[in-house]
Structure 1
Amino acid sequence: MKALVLQDDRSLRLVDRPRPVCAAPTDVLVRVAQTGVCGTDRGVLLGKFPARPGVVMGHEAIGEVAEIGTGVTTLKPGDRVVVDPTFYCGLCARCRRGALNFCLHKEGNELGIDRDGAFAPYLALDERFLHPVPDGLPDDRAVLIEPLACVLNNLEAARLRPADDVLVLGGGPIGVLTALVADHLASKVRLVERDPFRRSIAARYFAGVPGCAVRLCEPDAVDGPTASVVVDTVGSLLERACALAQPMGRVVVMGFDGNARGELRPLELLQRGLSIVGAGDYNGLIFPRAIELAQRLPLEGIVTHHVPIDDFPRALDALGLTTGYAGLKVVIQLAEVTQ
């Protein structure tokens, strides 16, 4: 099969790879329909996040069960499924305490980072990490379930309350999803994005969501302590986020950027009563809740591009790796879209 593989120079190349097989009794072979290009994928290609050269990238995947191992009991061939790529062993000390997202055996098991992922026509996984897609849920909505789980994890860590004034920094797909969900839970939500194209496309999306009251702002239009909850979906705006948080505010660091650095004054945190939260990856127990919420939110409007795998450079162009942004959520298309 043809798969998109990370090279030593952090580029992607379409190469031949053996089709995976069900090696264990509980393995499931998935025929991938589409895989979203995550901000983490973009960060890997830009040198902001580590990944193993030679790995098949991609983790935001949906597809159809092609084959099952002899011990699989929850799925059958033909079932539509969504991938939960945050693996855990279930047996280590952290897993036994319920901290599945901090499993001690996570290294070497991050899909699309150091274990072959879903920028390929087929993917083999343990059935634990595959969830049935509800009937009638279109592919373009189902492919955003995994990012939605990330959003739920971070907003839960922020202890979001109905009276909160939420400020989301960054208007990429995760920022838009964060603002969308926060709009359902808090009293006031603003989304700050520097790029004019992304501001305009986010504004068009929110305008089409019934009852949505998210406001779009340019960075210069927001100043001083102005929100009880600030979410940095970029991953490099910690100092700015703290400056924008009200006394007793909560600042959530959500974006992944291994090159980012920030300088904070401990006395200021103490005197202003700020809480800085790093939520980490989502706990696997959140994933079923994301599936339920996806049935009530028009997530599909966030998808702007479907790019065939053999035309993958166009996906990178749309995400601003070569020129300016030309899209919001881009998916690598490997099968016909189900509406």
Structure 2
Amino acid sequence: MRRPAVVLVALAVVLAGCSSPESGADDTEGAAVTDEVITDDFAIDQDFPDPDVLATGDRYYAFATNGAGFNVQTAVSTDLESWEVLAADALPDLPAWAAPGKTWAPEVSELTPGAFVMYFTAANKNPAMQCIGVATATSPEGPFAPVGTAPIVCPPDEGGAIDAATFVDDDGTPYLLWKNDGNCCALDTWLQIAELSPDGTALAGETSKLLMQDQAWEGNLIEAPTLVKRDGVYTLLYSANDYGGDAYATGYATAPSALGPFTKAGGPLLTTELGDGRYLGPGGQDVVTAPDGTDVLVFHSWDSLFIQRGVNVIPLEWDVGKPSVVLH
């Protein structure tokens, strides 16, 4: 049973500067939490960051950054509300180019029926930077086996690449999106896109840059792209700022095509303050269609002690491609 915790203003402000060892982000000052707020009421109540959700058959599979001794964590649900965390590693073996311990932000897609492709971020040995690999399986639970002898995306002059995501356009064209890990080395962070091969194991087109950090609330980076099409509009959701504190937040931009040009919204979609302090540093988001046909936003946020990032699931509504969250 999940037990909500009461968080006081002083605790939230003191702990907002805590950080953890991903992606080289710098500490930033988090937003203050007003009054008393309820946190720690998670759909997946354990450390399960950067959740990606795959709907297949009558089940939903969630995949997360390394934890619990696994390279890729997995959970399963039939309703997006009750989840069973599986005691198995979806990616038990890393490719030879990858060092253990930094396997982040998995994305799993079923580009052809019964064939599942995973994109994962791992620590490339040479050059030493985060890069994106690809693996395949015949079951959404895995085990996924790495494909190829090198990462699928690894631009050394851009700081490497993290946070892969997929999108399939109306004409069936599959795309891969990612973020160059520029904040590792004082470079800009661009959300980028390229066409995939039909089986999803290789890039098949030129890379296009879509968005970079340029708004005050975004801090020194944007990352975690999620592209969907609603109401004829292409909507690109993303996370921004320092994931290690409550300044981390979710934003979006819209465009007439998958390749842009994208126009950012006037402000973020969900922040610690916009969520009334219930979701501390909300980000790492995914958009998922629920069994009743409505959309939900699946994302992680910190617990009240900033020790782990649990998973939240909240309703998401649309107005001509512009999303809005429905807070409980």
Common fold by TM > 0.5: no
Higher relative helix content? 1
Higher Rg? 1
Which has more strand, going by share of residues? 2
TM-score (norm 1): 0.27
